[in-house]
Amino acid sequence: MTFYVTTPIYYANSLPHLGHLYTMIVADTIARSKRQKGIETYFLTGTDEHGINIERAAQKAGRTPKEQADYVVSYYKKMTAAFGLDTAHGGYDIFMRTTEPFHYQGVSELWRRCAKAKTPKGNEAIYKGHYEGWFCAACAEYKTEDEYRKPATEGAPPTCLIHDTELDRISEDSYFFRLSDYGEALLAIYENQPDFVRPDSRRNEVMSFVRGGLQDLAISRLKTSVSWGVPVPDDPDHTMYVWFDALINYITAIGFGNEERQKAVGFEKFWPALHLVGKDILRFHAVYWPAFLLAGGVQLPKAIVAHGMWLDPNGRKMSKTLGNTIELDVLEKHFPVDAIRYFCLREMVFGQDGRFGYEGLIDRTNSDLANGLGNLSSRTLKMISLYCDGRIPTRHISEDKILLAKRSGVDTDETTVSGFIELAREQYLQQFESLNFSRALEVAWSVVARIDGIISDAKPWNLAKDDEQKQTLAAVLYRSAEALRWLSVLLFPVMPQACQEIWTQLGLSGSPGSIEPGQLTWGQLEEAKAIGEVRPIFPRIDKNKIMSEINNETEPSAARATVADAVEGAPGKTETQAPPPTQHATEADAVGVTSFIEIGDFAKVDLRVGQVLSAERIPKADKLLLLKIDVGEEQPRQVLAGIAEYYEPEKLIDRKVVVVANLKPRKLRGYESQGMVVAASIGEEGRPVIATFTEEVPNGARLK
Ligand SMILES: [Zn+2]
């Protein structure tokens, strides 16, 4: 028996964030649980490295597209190592890259098969035509009329609803995939295999999308427009559409179309896969991908499971502009990996959006891990050290001591607790199998609570004072230790390090990761064996201390700025009352337009091309926006601009601007402004209009 699980391969035009980490944690957890059951498992993650967006990003950074991809991949590799998700830590089996030569080979093979295939309606699956329409490079997606915003001024291109950037007009010969012929075949699959797309809400979405009618899909670009990609077999003037090549990675990685990979991994051995995806890319995986496979005569994936998105604690979408993102380096620095894994799986109910905040993470870690599982483990083991000479105590209470034990309030029938934990195991595994991790963990914590209760009721510290109750004491501690053994096996896929630690402290050898949870039998914890060294598993996190460290480290977010302002706004501080900086022509006005300057005077002003990376409002400063601008330096500049009344911060992202780069830094509302954005000043009210470029210009270029 084998199992194959995949995360999406991530587009190598940006660095990893929480969303990427989350899907990897889920896939890693599933992979570990399968391996634990002795199932040979293959776990794929990786990067999607082709397309115009990467070509452009590379150009901007002065790199080749491959160098650009390498750069992003190096971040992914560092991230996966730091969070214990790489091969060295027992995580993924392959970090798939679509620039691998074997991938090119496999993709070409599937293309050729599709090119020869007939659709269910008897037409050619791939045909050559002419594409006329709009394309968002950032989405790597063709946009139909209801998927873009019409331009404000006539003649300008429409903008992407997601990215707000201008779309590319495409009018060129292109190969098409005859998706329109696959609607009925796809609907039949969704009907016959209700588990093919999960959860149900997503399956319904996909079905109504398909019922609405499918359009043929352009699956190539002229090489003269996009050269960074897999060439179309037998027609090198065309480059494959990036999604066509990217989706196929799931089969090329395990050997489709390449003998060496086939020998090393094995396509027939592992396919079909369980695909984990974010709901934003469900259409590609649940509609396009199965259609490509149907055309190519390849078995469909086992299932496509779409998870929700992480929102901030107030239920808002996370974004750089709102300053409410969760930073991976902050997580890495302040939190144990297992606490992050636990939180991710506990907080997001399967299929729904979840909420993620640092404070919530600290609270959960303290309540469920430090006070819950960690405390149960350390109090049990400490008492075994103290009362039982550091050896696993005897579980049975002899006939002559039963009455005494009963008098102390201890249930002398061990099957009460073993029955409870056996039932919990069944429920836990069932929920886990359905990927209802949150519910599964609730079940596991009912065991923690039950055992905690048994200890509190029995009061071992009192029993220890009575020689006659030695057996009662031993039985109570045995039950607790045995429950911990079970928990460390059950929870291993979720928290591998912590469970290994509990396992070792119980004096057990090997790993709970190789024990089949279904095979656990009550009472197999060997009596009289010495326990290991007792150490805290989850130290309590000092919330105030860690939160203040986090707040000092991260960029000022809206919420934190309010606090900062409140402190700074103390009476007598006039700085907060200062008018917003006039970022437009008013300063020039003061100089006087009639007096001439020498060219050398102008040369003193260092004007640079910049690109807005983030923009956010500053609380209680109605006119100010806080911008992060890339002016081609190592670090972006922080610039305050008095344009908040006229510009939505979100709309400024990615925009090219002109920055006065050698303006003396000044502090406003507690923020340093390291430059100035140039804008025209219009009308009496001085409405600012930001200067920009109509042609491609690299960041940092000097204006002369
Ligand atoms: Zn877009």
| Mean pLDDT for back-to-back runs of 10 residues, the chain (704 residues) | 97 91 98 97 97 89 93 96 97 98 98 98 97 88 87 88 88 96 98 96 96 95 94 96 96 98 98 96 97 98 96 89 89 97 94 94 97 97 97 96 93 96 98 96 98 96 95 97 98 98 98 97 97 95 95 58 29 31 31 55 86 87 88 88 86 89 82 88 79 85 88
Q: Are 629 and 609 in contact (CB under 8 A)?
A: no
Q: What is the DSSP string of 48-62?
A: E--SHHHHHHHHHHT
The active-site residue out of 60, 163, 223, 543 is 163
Cα 530 to ligand 1 centroid, rounded to whole Å: 61
The active-site residue out of 77, 116, 121, 317 is 317
Helix pair 470-490, 399-407: axis angle to 10 deg: 80
Q: Are 106 and 252 in contact (CB under 8 A)?
A: yes
Cα 507 to ligand 1 centroid, rounded to whole Å: 55
Calpha distance 247→267 (Å, rounded)? 15
Calpha distance 357→331 (Å, rounded)? 11
| CA proximity to 304, closest of 7, 49, 1, 2 | 7
| CA proximity to 134, closest of 107, 161, 96 | 161
The secondary structure of residue 532, as a DSSP letter, is -
If DSSP codes are grouped into helix, strand and coil, which group holds residue 374? helix
The active-site residue out of 114, 160, 344, 499 is 160
| CA proximity to 397, closest of 461, 478, 456 | 478
CA distances from 549 to 143, 198, 231, 329, 542 (A): 44, 40, 50, 13, 11
Cα 470 to ligand 1 centroid, rounded to whole Å: 70
Residue 584 is predicted with a pLDDT of 33
Query: In terms of DSSP H, where are the helices of 535-633?
Result: 543-553, 558-568, 586-591, 599-603
- 317: annotated active-site residue: yes
- 320: annotated active-site residue: yes
Cα 320 to ligand 1 centroid, rounded to whole Å: 17
Cα 339 to ligand 1 centroid, rounded to whole Å: 34
CA distances from 617 to 325, 452, 505 (A): 15, 48, 51
Calpha distance 505→509 (Å, rounded)? 10
Helix pair 470-490, 375-387: axis angle to 10 deg: 140
If DSSP codes are grouped into helix, strand and coil, which group holds residue 134? strand
The active-site residue out of 34, 37, 136, 334 is 136
Cα 371 to ligand 1 centroid, rounded to whole Å: 45
The active-site residue out of 20, 34, 50, 103 is 20
Q: Which long-range contacts (CB under 8 A, 24 or more apart) does 341-347 make?
A: 341/25, 341/29, 341/494, 341/495, 342/368, 342/369, 342/441, 342/494, 342/495, 344/21, 344/22, 344/25, 344/26, 345/25, 345/26, 345/29, 345/437, 345/438, 345/441, 345/494, 346/437, 346/438, 346/441, 347/438
Query: In terms of DSSP H, where are the helices of 285-374?
Result: 289-296, 328-334, 337-347, 358-364
Q: Are 550 and 334 in contact (CB under 8 A)?
A: yes
Residue 267 is predicted with a pLDDT of 98
* End-to-end Cα spacing for the chain: 68
- 236 burial class (0-12, 13-18, 19+ CB within 10 angstroms)? exposed
- 130: annotated active-site residue: no
Cα 687 to ligand 1 centroid, rounded to whole Å: 29
Cis before residue 199, ω within 30 degrees of 0? Answer: yes
Calpha distance 534→532 (Å, rounded)? 6
For residue 412, the cross-strand partners are none
Cα 142 to ligand 1 centroid, rounded to whole Å: 9
- 307: annotated active-site residue: no
Residue 559 is predicted with a pLDDT of 37
- 279: annotated active-site residue: no
Q: Return the percent helix, strand and coil in the chain, to nearest 5.
A: 45, 20, 35
Question: 111-149: string of b/e by CB count within 10 Å (b at 16+)?
Answer: bbbbbebebbeeebbbeeeebebbbbbbbbbbbeeebbe
Cα 292 to ligand 1 centroid, rounded to whole Å: 23
Cα 217 to ligand 1 centroid, rounded to whole Å: 17
Cis before residue 536, ω within 30 degrees of 0? Answer: no
Looking at residue 594, its amino acid is T
* CA angle, residues 445, 355, 375, in degrees to nearest 5: 30
Calpha distance 662→665 (Å, rounded)? 8
Cα 418 to ligand 1 centroid, rounded to whole Å: 55
Q: Are 325 and 316 in contact (CB under 8 A)?
A: no
Looking at residue 660, its amino acid is V
The whole-model pTM stands at: 0.78
Q: Are 99 and 69 in contact (CB under 8 A)?
A: yes
Looking at residue 188, its amino acid is A
The active-site residue out of 114, 139, 344, 388 is 139
Catalogue the E-assigned strands of 345-395. Answer: 354-355
- 584: annotated active-site residue: no
Calpha distance 404→407 (Å, rounded)? 5
| CA proximity to 518, closest of 552, 556, 557, 489 | 489
Cα 141 to ligand 1 centroid, rounded to whole Å: 7
The active-site residue out of 320, 334, 623, 628 is 320
Residue 556 is predicted with a pLDDT of 47
Residue 65 is predicted with a pLDDT of 94
- 499: annotated active-site residue: no
| CA proximity to 565, closest of 621, 645, 482 | 621
Q: Are 410 and 458 in contact (CB under 8 A)?
A: yes
Cα 136 to ligand 1 centroid, rounded to whole Å: 5
Cα 11 to ligand 1 centroid, rounded to whole Å: 13
CA distances from 602 to 141, 475, 584, 598, 606 (A): 44, 87, 17, 7, 9
- 116: annotated active-site residue: no
Q: Are 245 and 107 in contact (CB under 8 A)?
A: yes
The secondary structure of residue 307, as a DSSP letter, is E
Cα 163 to ligand 1 centroid, rounded to whole Å: 4
Starting at the edge strand that comes first in sequence, how are the strands of the sheet with 168-177 ordered?
A: 141-143, 126-136, 168-177, 217-218
If DSSP codes are grouped into helix, strand and coil, which group holds residue 75? helix
Backbone angles phi and psi of 22, in degrees to 5? -60, -50
| Residue 181 CB coordination number (10 Å) | 21
Cα 164 to ligand 1 centroid, rounded to whole Å: 7
Residue 597 is predicted with a pLDDT of 67
